Amino acid sequence: DTGVSQNPRHKITKRGQNVTFRCDPISEHNRLYWYRQTLGQGPEFLTYFQNEAQLEKSRLLSDRFSAERPKGSFSTLEIQRTEQGDSAMYLCASSFGQGGTEAFFGQGTRLTVV
Amino acid sequence: DQQVKQNSPSLSVQEGRISILNCDYTNSMFDYFLWYKKYPAEGPTFLISISSIKDKNEDGRFTVFLNKSAKHLSLHIVPSQPGDSAVYFCAASGGNEKLTFGTGTRLTIIP
C-alpha cells in the first residue's frame, strides 16, 4: 500500500499524559499536513510542512502541540499534557507540488483523553 | 467564521437518480476547490477538484460545477449508487496550501 500511513490508529490516554502520532506520507510528496476533526465538523488545519520546513501553524496549535518532519520524510505530532478537549481524530495528508493540488489523507489517529 | 458552508447536513436519494450536493464559500481568495468522501473511522478520500479558471469538471459519474459570481459550487453524482453513501466534504484553498473544509453532508442512497 503506497498511501498515507498513520500510527497508531487509536490511542486512549489519561489526561496530563503526552502522546505522539506518526505519519508516513506518499513517498514522492513534498508537502505534509496535519488536520484535526471533531464530531460533526470538517477537518481543521493544524500545520503543514514543505519538505522539512514547517511553513504554517494554525492558532489551534497551542504550545502543547509540536510537529516535526525530520529529513522531509515522516512526520510526528506530539501533544503534551493532554486535555479532554484534545480528543479528536488527527488526520495527516500529503501532496506534491505547490498550489492547487489534491491532498491525500491517511486513515487518521483517533485520540481519546480520559 | 465559517468560510466554507455546507448547509444541508443530510441528503437522501433514490438509487439511480442524481445526487446534488451544494457548497458555498465566502473568501474570494479561494481559487481551488475539492470534494472529499468520508466513510466512518476512515480518512477523507479525494473525489474531484476544480480550479477557479474553470466552471465545470467531470470525472466519470462525478461532476463539479463552480459559480464564482455566486461563490457556490456543487457536486453532481449520476447515477447514484449504494456505495456512494458517505459523508461528503467540500474544501477550498487559495494562495497557500491549507484546505478549509465545510461541515459535511451525509448522503444516503436508498436502494
Pick the residue of B1, B97, B101, B105 with the most A CBs within 10 A to test the interface with A by mutation.
Answer: B97
Q: Which residue has the cell 481519546?
A: A112
Q: Identify residues of A whose CB sits under 8 angstroms from chain B CBs.
A: 4, 6, 31, 33, 35, 40-45, 48, 50, 55-56, 58, 91, 93, 95, 98-100, 102-108, 110
Give me the tens of pLDDT residue by residue for chain A, a chain 114 residues long: 579 999 999 999 999 999 999 999 999 899 999 999 998 899 999 999 999 999 989 988 889 999 999 988 999 999 999 999 999 999 999 998 766 678 899 999 999 999
Q: Cα A96 to chain center, whole Å?
A: 17
Which one-letter DSSP state was computed for residue A2?
-
Q: Which residue has the cell 436502494?
A: B111
Beta pairing partners, A32: A49, A94
| pLDDT tens readout for residues B10-66 | 999 999 999 999 999 999 999 999 999 999 888 999 999 999 999 999 999 999 999
In sign, the C-alpha dihedral spanning B88, B52, B27, A96 is positive
